[in-house]
Structure 1
Amino acid sequence: MAAKAALPPHSPGIATGAGWARLRPRGGGAMRGYRYEALDGARALAAQVVLVSHGLGMAFFPVHSPGAAAAEWFGRLAVMVFFSLSGFVIATSLSRLVASDGSRFGVPYAVHRIARIWPPLVLAILVTFAVGWLGQNGLPLLTKTGDAYRLDAVAFLRGITLTFAPGDATFVIDRALWSLRQEVYLYAIAALAALAFAGRGARRVLAGGAVVGLVILTADRFFYLQSLALFAAGAAAAHFGGRERLRALARAPWLGPATLCLLGAPLLFVVRPGFIDAMSDGAGFLAYQAALGIPVALCLLGLAIGDGPAARAAARWSWAAAFSYTLYVIHVPVMTLVFSLRAHLDLAPGLAGTVATLLLALLGAEAVSCAAALVVERPALFRRILFRLLAATGLARPAVQAAPSI
């Protein structure tokens, strides 16, 4: 999920000029020469981790069991990587747009985000509602909570706008979308923060006030402060990544093993009752997850500037990034359908049947996502369409249509 936009290799650096130039880091090499193949591979691998963790939870682990707790933690780690990776990529994207459009970057930025996010999201809501319809017409669905859900037009509109409520099918069936809603929120925070630095006068004041207001408004909501900390760590790593000391730290041979230890340390406590609840409610645990953004962001910087074994291994998975976002948003309803059919039809009993069903669910989610991504993960096409529509209405300048690809 999380960074769902990859930039071409060797992204241009920040241009000097208007207020944004004051943020230009020392060294002049920041945000220049990053290689995104490894970051694409990291995104693809994180999506696979989410897929497998959810599949294992559906197949083997009762809710609140140690196995379920471990699977939940691995899934949460992958989402945390998405948030930090999004911050890294969005920072570089905004720097390019500000360099080309100054404080008027809002329209191209919004178009790039909409073209990337919404086509797969609309597909995911359609798939979710199709599975939900089956669930209300003879196929009992094995959702995580088992709650009733709405399938009306209002629920559909709330799904495609990421404003879904607890009683909507989107909330009950496709539970992975909570992080996408937060990611779109982070896109807005990033744009407003950029405007606060690149704009002038009232624009700067209003944008800065909007950032503070949004953070205060969401501070007590589930995981928003933590996702913001992870996102900000990734953005800072990208922005200040030209500093030699920071690059040396990102290349340090001990960083990867140390980060893995920090990420894996909570697994020592999965046998404790309440571990899953503490992931989302425990103040100390939430602070720990937020703090993990620093080592994760440094590792991402290391992948972006490195050519060592880790970067090469991650880059080998870059091909899977072409459908990783679609996989993220539709895998839960697809796998829920497979496991529900098995239970309803009483097929493949026993451990062997469970394993076979798990493999079928995983492969089915991969196949559906790969095929669907050929249609919905085409941001360049959707950008062109949106820019032409905006130009026809006079809301976009012709030059905006040539904005750098994000």
Structure 2
Amino acid sequence: MSDPALETALPPATAMPAAAARPKVIAGDHLIEALRGFAALLVAYFHCRQVTWIGMGAFHQAHASLSDPGTLAAWLTLPVAWGSAGVPIFFVISGYCIHRSGAARLLANPSFTLDARQFWLRRFVRIYPVLLAALLLTFAADSISLTLLPVSHKILDIGPRAFLVNLFSLQGIAGKTYGSNGALWTLSLEVQFYLLYPLLFAARRRFGFHAVLGAVAVVNIVSAMTLQRHDVVIFTSYWFSWMLGAWIAEIHLRGASGFRYAYAASALFAAAGCAAFHFGQFGAFQLWACAFACYLVKALERSHSASASHGDSPAVGLLASLFAKLGEFSYSLYLIHLPLFVLLGSLLYRSSLQTSIWPSFGFTLAVLPVAWIFYRLFERPALNAAARLRKRVAA
């Protein structure tokens, strides 16, 4: 899941060390938005492919010829089989964005303390109005889907208890995700990250970031060995990926460059994650988080250099701009895509999986404008409210 917001409030550049000056910090914002958009689209299409299509194995048995455009298009979607890699991308970006502002202030003033109450208030205003709207939309969409037999196996409980479990971000601990909206499993982890972040920030001031990162890594391993194996989905099992993003914020603010072979390491971690995915999603998740962290630390450095030299080709710039546009409403897209895919599948195909790959493309294109409208109606006002709170505190 995406981090729901970029925490962009920073102290004036004159109050900060040269290495943490404002232009350096904001140079990668376009890149971050583009990566969020890419991750959101990757996860959304990964789910759409699952909801609408028979899958590569069954498809291959029925369609062996590459002369058919539909067959070629289906094979081109093969990398999307690892589309859940979008989730660790979101977590790393979330850690980077949430910690960036506080880390900048701490560099400028080592005695700076985080206002936990204000932080939690901004997070609440940013997340929960949009989440409530998404849960209500899920209820409405699933209520229609449930009237169309046979009912999709993606739809779970849409009763009041399940609603409250997801509203209070307890899915994975006190219940399952709401209705057909299985993507909500990551949102509970995000909220739990935010609840503990002020404590992490205080520990970082006291003991230093590397000590905190090491402690979180140990907690992550212990949690995986004890809780994850018993299907208890809680933030401690995914904490390290989020902290990797916070670590990148720290080194980027200091002007440090990533290690020389970061891109090569990213490719190796990504390949290892794809291989590990066949033995379980959890191990793959950790490897993909490391892969993206290696990539991001170098990409932010390159993004700053490109901004200073006006680099990047027109084609790359156009693609990045398109993904950045998606990044603007990536939270909305993430929150509502699954119940809409299930509803479309119920209405058009009575939840039966199709042999053709084309419906998956059509469903994805259909949901994008709906997500943008949802963003304008619910997410944009929440963003504006969180920004007003931030300005009030700064004043």
**TM-score, scaled to structure 2:** 0.73
1:295 aligns with 2:297: no
Alignment partner of 1:364 out of 350, 358, 366 = 366
Q: Tell which deviates more after alignment, 155-164 or 7-16.
A: 7-16
In the TM superposition, residue 137 of structure 1 has moved relative to its aligned partner by 3.3
User: Matched residue of 2:171: which SS?
Assistant: coil
1:306-352 Cα shifts (integer Å, max 9, x gaps)? 42439845355322222111001110110011112222298xx9755
1:134 aligns with 2:141: no
1:5-404 correspondence to structure 2 within 5 Å: 5-8=5-8, 28-30=18-20, 32=22, 33-34=24-25, 35=27, 36-62=29-55, 71-73=80-82, 75-95=83-103, 102-103=112-113, 105-144=115-154, 149-164=156-171, 170-198=177-205, 218-219=223-224, 220-221=227-228, 222=233, 224-225=235-236, 227-243=238-254, 246-247=256-257, 249=259, 255-256=262-263, 259-267=266-274, 269=275, 275-280=277-282, 285=284, 288-289=287-288, 291-292=290-291, 294-302=293-301, 305-307=304-306, 308-309=311-312, 312=317, 314-315=320-321, 317-344=323-350, 351=355, 355=358, 357-378=359-380, 379-383=382-386, 402-403=392-393
Taking a change above 3 Å as real, the CA distance of residues 108 and 288 of structure 1, as seen in their structure-2 partners, is: same
Distance 1:286 1:380 in 2: 29
Number of residue pairs matched by the alignment:
355
- Structure 2 residue identity aligned to 1:110: W
In the TM superposition, residue 69 of structure 1 has moved relative to its aligned partner by 8.9
Q: Which residue pairs with 1:23 in the alignment? A: none
Taking a change above 3 Å as real, the CA distance of residues 182 and 217 of structure 1, as seen in their structure-2 partners, is: farther
Distance 2:55 2:304 in 1: 42
- State whether residues 80 and 230 of structure 1, in contact with CA within 8 Å, keep that contact through their aligned partners in structure 2: yes
**TM-score, scaled to structure 1:** 0.72
Question: Which sections of structure 1, spanning at least 5 residues, go unmatched?
Answer: 17-26, 201-206, 388-399
Taking a change above 3 Å as real, the CA distance of residues 163 and 226 of structure 1, as seen in their structure-2 partners, is: closer
In the TM superposition, residue 63 of structure 1 has moved relative to its aligned partner by 9.7
Instruction: Kindly report the root-mean-square deviation, in angstroms, between the aligned alpha carbons of the 2 structures.
Output: 4.2
